[in-house]
Structure 1
Amino acid sequence: MNTTASTPLTDSYTSNRQVGDVFRDVPLTREHLKCCLALFFLLAIEAWEMMIIVYTAPLIAQDFALDAIAVGNLIGAMFIGMLLGALPWGNVAERIGRKKAILWSLVLYGMISLASAFAPDYISLYALRLLSGVAVVGMMVVIFAHYQELLPVRHRGSLTVYLASGWPIGMLLALGATVWLMPWGWRAIIVLSSLGSVWALVIAYWVPESPYWLARVGRQAQARKVIERLSRGAVQVPEDCQLRVDQTTQGRQRDLFTSPMLKISTLQIFVNFTFSWGYWGLQTWLPTLLQQRGLSLPQSYGFIALSAVCMIPGYMAASWLTHRLGRKKVLIAFISAAVLAGYGFANSQSLEMLYLSNFALAFFSLGAWGVWGTWVSELYPTPLRTLGYGWAIFAQRLANILAPSLIGALVAYGASFNVTTTLINAFMLVSVLLVVFIPETEGEALR
């Protein structure tokens, strides 16, 4: 990484220049490392918040005497909140900026999550988890788009996939907190979870606003200053050079569904729905499904922890490959491998095979998620980037709402392990077929 200022690159600048082209000149510096660290743990906080209700569900069910369907609905409450908040947060990010949207989302989530720890009954807890989802989804809508708008073109793909590896870290932290604080009950676990909002202080100091967004809203001086900061002085845009981004759309929701964005939006929405159904349908009921195979609840938690560890090398492999082979080839290969691993998981005849197939499923499915999270943001021009990602999260959360409830019904009515997991796995196969029609973006500047 470049850590010292070099001669400003001013000779090639004309009176107008696209921000994306400027980032072809920006070197990788310590400023990017700080942004990566800050946003990495932000993603871990998101994962923690989403998974904590899954891991504490058995404790909550015992406390409130809930059946499997009620537990499934409680898990789905946060996803309903995310569904309601996904599209509005995209508009918020385009109006007030990427950074402010993240900060507001993080602070609001912390307040609501803390309140949910003191819920007196099931209805109150359900309502607060729903509101927590409305708040936390703002981070999910913005984080990938924001990070990509801070990175040099040649490092954007691999580093964004690295960022996605914060997800299993958050899962492990949530699982560790659940096991550690289990003697004190689920309320203590939720209190600890809500303290993640303090990370807003790190975001505020380490992460700058997107120069793409700043250029779009006419804040030229600030955009130039951020570029200079990120490059540590190696790239200085002259004051008489106007930074530009794609202005072929007005940044409205309906622009996503008119030519030329209609095909892209339709495909990515369907991929997000099918892929999320396949992944979350399994993850939200994994402890219960494992107990059907004879594992105790503590053994199930250990199984999930080992699976999360296997996700990390999956992200690393996907990051290395996407920079060399492109998004499409890696995503198709990883989802296809996850489908095969899922089939093995559904038809495992021994505990050893159950472990091996699930670890392969974790490796490939999460590596695929890292590439997909990177790819979606790159499909849209700056005025539509967070709006498009908002629809991606909307589709994911719709699947998250439907999948836990349906799987919960299957579990409640005695469906076999094989039937349940095979149904889940079929959705991932559909994702592979849809991805084929999405254009490659490796090496292209953001618009």
Structure 2
Amino acid sequence: MSEIPSTLAPNVGDVFKDVPLTRTHLRCCLVLFLVFAIEAWEMMIIVYTAPLIAQEFSLDALAVGNLIGAMFIGMLLGALAWGRLAERIGRKRAIIWSLASYGVVSLASAFSPDYSTLYALRLLSGVAAVGMMVVTFAHFQELLPIRHRGALTVYLASGWPIGMLLALGATVWLLPQGWRAIIILSSLGGLWAIAVARWVPESPYWLASVGRQQDARASINALSRGAVKLDDECVLQVDRSTSGLHRELFKGGLLGISLLQITVNFTFSWGYWGLQTWLPTLLQQRGLNLPQSYGFIALSALCMIPGYMTASYLTGRFGRKKIIVGFISASVLAGYGFANSTSLEMLYLSNFALAFFSLGAWGVWGAWIGELYPTTLRTVGYGWAIFAQRMANVLAPSLIGALIAYGSSFNQTTTIINAFLVVTVVLTAFMPETEGKALR
């Protein structure tokens, strides 16, 4: 048992040097892992059901692209608000509110009588659901021992392919019942708010930042399962150099970091989502029918899982920067092979490599963002990261839809998408390393 003397006022981050990895951490990992899987499910379900919706409402490619982008517009509108809200009401409550509100709005969208209503409700669903993405990584990082933070945060990110597979499985399973039944099933994910409320503690960093010292000590005691004993007189500290305002991200030493991470989030998201949102259509250009395209996507999602596992192991050994630069560089090569594949076998192989490396990089990137900021700006910083990602998500489906509608070839379209990954590699080389450092 590690004791912190009452005469000290330690930083919460330094206390977590002595916190062991416990079953409580693993339980939190499982609960928040499924939150992220639900988020992925909700984001991808509209992509997979788009052909069915297009058939019912007689939509062309541009209208489908706009519908896919509707949720991302909602996320764009909500991202900055959720970051600030999480600093005011706490990480845990923000996730619960996001899950519950998304479930209600998403359920309503399943009963849309026309395209305009469906568009509006998918947009509102995005406003609600983005809270999960903005807050979950920051919350989980603030529960973890320093030496396990990077690896376990990447494991949390592997909820993404699980969510994709669940969305794809639901689509294939309920295909005969139509897209409305698929959306109804997806909406039930909002009930997972009950699990978060019951099994995930509040962040001791946030509790200390708002002066709830007794609750912060109790949270650390619960996470360590009594292994770290904090005296009742111990006053836990966090970095109070900022007060959680958006403008503080763009002042002093944080200005360069914020501009870099926001730009990387935009270029990386464009490179990934530009391909994923139109992958079924692009594959049909290469001769695969819709069921074959779904099978192709499922195999790609399975290849993401070892990518996450590999990145999780390597980031603890070599740091964030080397792994992300290496993995995204490999993604660029795989994307080039995908764009220029001359056989179905090459198409499969290059896309699986792209899935392995790009998603491994995404996992490490999700861990890196929160480590760049002090406690009072952590979810605000994530909010801007997600804002930039959603900006790319809004633009990419519509612009790529326009390229496809006006006759752009498979090779041209994928090459344009891949160029954004090249820019991402260059920008990440300038980010500061954070592996092994205490959160502020």
Normalization by structure 1: what TM-score? 0.98
Q: What one-letter code is carried by the residue in structure 1 that aligns with 2:309?
A: M
Cross-structure match for 1:216: 209
Correspondence 1:441 to 2:440: no
8 A contact 1:279–1:365 mirrored in 2: yes
Aligned to 1:9, which of 3, 13, 17?
3
The separation in 2 between residues aligned to 1:241 and 1:15, in whole angstroms, is 6
Correspondence 1:129 to 2:127: no
Q: Which runs of 5+ in 2 are unaligned?
A: none
The separation in 2 between residues aligned to 1:112 and 1:351, in whole angstroms, is 40
Aligned to 1:396, which of 378, 389, 402?
389
Cross-structure match for 2:269: 276
Aligned to 1:316, which of 306, 309, 320?
309
Q: What one-letter code is carried by the residue in structure 2 that aligns with 1:10?
A: I
Cross-structure match for 1:3: none
The separation in 2 between residues aligned to 1:423 and 1:351, in whole angstroms, is 21
Cross-structure match for 1:107: 100
The separation in 1 between residues aligned to 2:3 and 2:26, in whole angstroms, is 22
Aligned to 2:333, which of 330, 337, 340?
340
Deviation at 1:241, TM superposition (A): 1.1
Match of 1:151, SS? coil
8 A contact 1:118–1:187 mirrored in 2: yes
Cross-structure match for 1:203: 196
Match of 2:72, SS? helix
Aligned to 1:154, which of 135, 144, 147?
147
Query: 199-208 vs 108-117, which deviates more?
Result: 199-208
The separation in 1 between residues aligned to 2:258 and 2:231, in whole angstroms, is 36
Aligned to 1:27, which of 17, 20, 30?
20
Correspondence 1:259 to 2:227: no
Q: Which runs of 5+ in 1 are unaligned?
A: 1-6
Deviation at 1:129, TM superposition (A): 0.2
Aligned to 1:409, which of 395, 402, 405?
402
Cross-structure match for 1:44: 37
The separation in 1 between residues aligned to 2:63 and 2:272, in whole angstroms, is 21
Cross-structure match for 1:54: 47
Match of 2:236, SS? strand
Deviation at 1:14, TM superposition (A): 3.4
Cross-structure match for 2:420: 427
Correspondence 1:188 to 2:181: yes
Deviation at 1:8, TM superposition (A): 4.5
Cross-structure match for 1:89: 82
8 A contact 2:2–2:227 mirrored in 1: yes
Count of residues paired in the alignment: 440
The separation in 1 between residues aligned to 2:427 and 2:306, in whole angstroms, is 26
Aligned to 1:362, which of 349, 355, 370?
355
Correspondence 1:386 to 2:375: no
8 A contact 1:8–1:233 mirrored in 2: no
Cross-structure match for 1:228: 221
Match of 1:9, SS? strand
C-alpha distance after superposition, 1:187-246 (max 9, x if no partner): 000000000011111111110000000000000000000000000000021111100000
Aligned to 1:292, which of 285, 294, 301?
285
Match of 1:28, SS? coil
The separation in 1 between residues aligned to 2:376 and 2:33, in whole angstroms, is 24
The separation in 2 between residues aligned to 1:116 and 1:130, in whole angstroms, is 10
Match of 1:16, SS? coil
Cross-structure match for 1:72: 65
Cross-structure match for 2:171: 178
The separation in 2 between residues aligned to 1:14 and 1:396, in whole angstroms, is 45
Q: What one-letter code is carried by the residue in structure 1 that aligns with 2:20?
A: P
8 A contact 1:161–1:315 mirrored in 2: yes
The separation in 2 between residues aligned to 1:220 and 1:98, in whole angstroms, is 16
C-alpha distance after superposition, 1:324-349 (max 9, x if no partner): 00000000000000000000000000
Match of 1:157, SS? helix
Q: What one-letter code is carried by the residue in structure 2 that aligns with 1:249?
A: T
Q: What one-letter code is carried by the residue in structure 2 that aligns with 1:443?
A: G
Alignment RMSD (CA, Å) = 0.6
The separation in 1 between residues aligned to 2:374 and 2:253, in whole angstroms, is 11
8 A contact 2:4–2:234 mirrored in 1: no
Aligned to 1:139, which of 127, 132, 136?
132
C-alpha distance after superposition, 1:365-420 (max 9, x if no partner): 00000000000000000000000000000000000000000000011111000000
Q: What one-letter code is carried by the residue in structure 1 that aligns with 2:120?
A: A
Aligned to 1:331, which of 320, 324, 333?
324
Match of 1:242, SS? coil
Normalization by structure 2: what TM-score? 0.99
C-alpha distance after superposition, 1:34-84 (max 9, x if no partner): 000000011000000000000000000000000000000000000000000
The separation in 2 between residues aligned to 1:179 and 1:149, in whole angstroms, is 38
Percent identical pairs in the alignment equals 76
C-alpha distance after superposition, 1:79-128 (max 9, x if no partner): 00000000000110000000000000000000000000000000000000
The separation in 2 between residues aligned to 1:250 and 1:32, in whole angstroms, is 28
